[in-house]
Amino acid sequence: QILERHGFSFKKSLGQNFLIDTNILKRIVGAADITKETGVIEIGPGIGALTEQIAKQANKVVAFEIDQRLLPILKETLSPYDHVNVIHKDIL
Q: Is 48 left (phi over 0), alpha (psi -120 to 50) or beta?
A: left
What's the average model confidence in pLDDT over 46-73? Answer: 94
The residues near 48 (Cβ < 8 Å, ≥ 6 apart) are 63, 73, 74, 77, 78
Q: How confident is the model at residue 4 (pLDDT cuts 50, 70, 90)?
A: confident
Domain assignment of residue 80, given as a range: 1-6+35-92
Determine the pLDDT at residue 16. Answer: 61
Q: Per-residue pLDDT for 7 more than 90? A: no
**Count of the separate structural domains present in the chain:** 1
Residue 65 lies inside a defined structural domain of this protein: yes
Please compute the mean of the pLDDT values over residues 60-82 and round it to a whole number: 94
State mean pLDDT over 37-58. 94
**Separation CA 36–CA 20 (nearest Å):** 23
Establish if 23 belongs to a structural domain.
no
Residue 26, domain member (yes or no): no
Tell me, what's the pLDDT at 5?
Answer: 77
Q: How many residues does the chain have?
A: 92
Question: What CATH number is associated with residue 61?
Answer: 3.40.50.150
